């Protein structure tokens, strides 16, 4: 059985679409509602490392704590940025998906297709109607 974990925010359309793409591959993932159950420091640092991205690139910029804390200034160390993400989980961009094939920040949601071990089992369209996967389970090219 394939093990997949998604750090999910059900209020986010991109996160909901990503979750449904995982389910469309026939897998019910472990869903972590990270706003309610945020990752610990070691887990968050490992996720960032596994994604191969900078700490800053995981920051959500369009949320209140970002402006209030002045995080747009490039004066914070990675450790300080991680501290803020742990203190204000809303600052963690999402969804983050962990599969046996890798860990990615899935924005846009179809990025998850690059790391899903199992093929899509049918057509899939995003909530806004954009087709992502056709009836044969193949990615729709834009």
Instruction: Enumerate the active-site residues.
Output: 12
Q: Which helix (H) or strand (E) segment is 41 a member of? A: helix 41-51
Secondary structure of 43-111 as H, E, C letters: HHHHHHHHHCCCCHHHECCCCHHHHHCCCCCCCCCHHHHHHHHHHCHHHECCCEEEECCEEEECCCHHH
Tokens at 8, concatenated: 């999910």
């Amino acid at each position: 059985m394939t093990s997949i974990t998604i750090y999910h925010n059900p209020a986010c359309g991109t996160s909901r679409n990503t979750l449904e793409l995982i389910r469309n591959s026939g897998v019910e993932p472990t869903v972590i509602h990270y706003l309610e159950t945020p990752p610990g420091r070691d887990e968050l640092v490992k996720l960032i490392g596994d994604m191969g991205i900078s700490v800053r690139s995981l920051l959500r910029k369009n949320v209140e704590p970002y402006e209030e804390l002045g995080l747009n200034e490039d004066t914070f160390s990675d450790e300080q940025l991680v501290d803020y993400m742990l203190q204000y989980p809303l600052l963690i961009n999402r969804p983050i998906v962990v599969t046996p094939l890798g860990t990615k920040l899935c924005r846009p949601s179809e990025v998850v297709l690059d790391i899903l071990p199992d093929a899509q089992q049918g057509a899939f369209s995003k909530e806004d109607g954009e087709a992502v996967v056709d009836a044969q389970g193949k990615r729709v090219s834009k």
